[in-house]
Amino acid sequence: MKKSRLSCYYLGLMVGLLVGVGGTGLSGQAASHNQTVTFGQLTNQNPHRLAAIRAAARQTLLTKTHAKASRVPAVFAVKLPTHMTKKATLTAKGLRMNLLPNAFNVRQIVIPYNQLSGKILNRYLPKKNRPVILKAKKVVALTFDDGPDPTLTPRLLKTLARNHVHATFFEVGQSVSRYPKVTRAVVKAGNEVGNHSWNHPDFNRIGTVASVQQVIRTDRAIYAATGKLPQYVRPPYGNITAAEGRQIQHPIIRWSVDSRDWAYLNTQKDISEVLRTTHPGSIILMHDIHAQSVAAVPTIIKRLKAKGYRFVTVSQLLNNQALPGLQYFAANNYRTAGK
């Protein structure tokens, strides 16, 4: 798998943050309330950041209207800003945006600043909402695909809780719809839930339109279970085209450590493969639908902790700065989705 050092994107992000805290007479403080700004200013002309603002706007619109899950497809049809010259207003509570006529009959929303952390430049955020950069070097993110399983996922949650570890679960929409209580339990325990398609097709085979519908349908199921749209998508088999990367309006999460647990179905082999290939910043891929995989987790956690590793969620590993249109393999290892 292609690896990179500090990519151009993160260099741009760092420069953007530096620009955001100086040169404007703000002395590093958040911009003043009721200040009109363009999206170009908010994002340093970064289209991925603007896509992240649109994602936050969708969640805000659903929350504001107390929308049922059946309204999730409609929120993706709402026309949201795509041009950097469009304007919004910084208020005490968040970013105020005017909306074009839409099916929700809402003319204006205010996106809370805590939903914009890592999405807009730091200079426009209150200090408490600015991303917290992980200082520890030996951090990894455990991720589990293809659940929820009504028996194995709760068993795994108990293991994670006993070891004070949080993980990220990429769930299949039809299983979420069947076992929403399990998905809620995943979130209640402090873990993250991501989108892993509705029924696990190869996106490269079904095409862009069908792939987008797979994602939206699963977003709807996860929203029905948790009240929140998932932030991330992991395409089945890791396959995604450039066109799908542009149209699927979520950060794409891949992996750098493949346990191959689905192939082995052998607890000891699962343990050996993960320990052999894990490095600082790794995103580890496992599955919570195989008993052998779930049985391997306690030993994996114990042995990696003994080596000085700390376990974090994908959001923490990426410093809450993952953006739509990009795919992430590990900390500081990403590129444009589909490339």
The catalytic site residues sit at 145, 287
Domain that holds residue 121: 8-129
119 and 155 belong to one structural domain: no
148 with 255, same domain: the answer is yes
Does one domain contain both 143 and 120? Answer: no
| pLDDT per residue as tens, the chain (339 positions) | 433 433 444 444 444 433 343 333 333 455 567 899 999 999 999 999 999 999 999 999 999 999 999 999 999 999 999 999 999 999 999 999 999 999 999 999 999 999 999 999 999 999 999 998 888 889 999 999 999 999 999 999 999 999 999 999 999 999 999 999 999 999 999 999 999 999 999 999 999 999 999 999 999 999 999 999 999 999 999 999 999 999 999 999 999 999 999 999 999 999 999 999 999 999 999 999 999 999 999 999 999 999 999 999 999 999 999 999 999 999 999 999 988
Q: Are residues 278 and 224 in the same domain?
A: yes
Are residues 176 and 268 located together in one domain of the fold?
A: yes
The pTM of the full predicted model, rounded to 2 decimals, is 0.90
> What is the distance of C-alpha 115 from the center of its chain?
12
238 and 271 fall within a common domain: yes
pLDDT tens for residues 134-187? 888 899 999 999 999 999 999 999 999 999 999 999 999 999 999 999 999 999
Residues 211 and 316 in one domain: yes
Q: Which two tokens stand for residue 210?
A: 């069908």
Give the total number of structural domains in the chain: 2
End residue of a domain, out of 74, 109, 129: 129
The residue from 129, 161, 181 where one domain ends is 129
Which one of 129, 149, 174 terminates a domain?
129
Distances in Å between the alpha carbon of 10 and those of 4, 105, 137, 205, 328?
11, 38, 17, 32, 12
Residue 174 within any structural domain of the chain? yes
Same domain, 70 and 166: no
Q: Are 173 and 304 found together in one domain?
A: yes
Same domain, yes or no, for 167 and 70? no
Q: Are residues 232 and 125 in the same domain?
A: no
E strand or H helix at 218, and its extent?
Answer: helix 208-226
3-state SS, residue 194: strand
- For residues 76 and 189, state if they share a domain: no
CATH of the domain at 279: 3.20.20.370
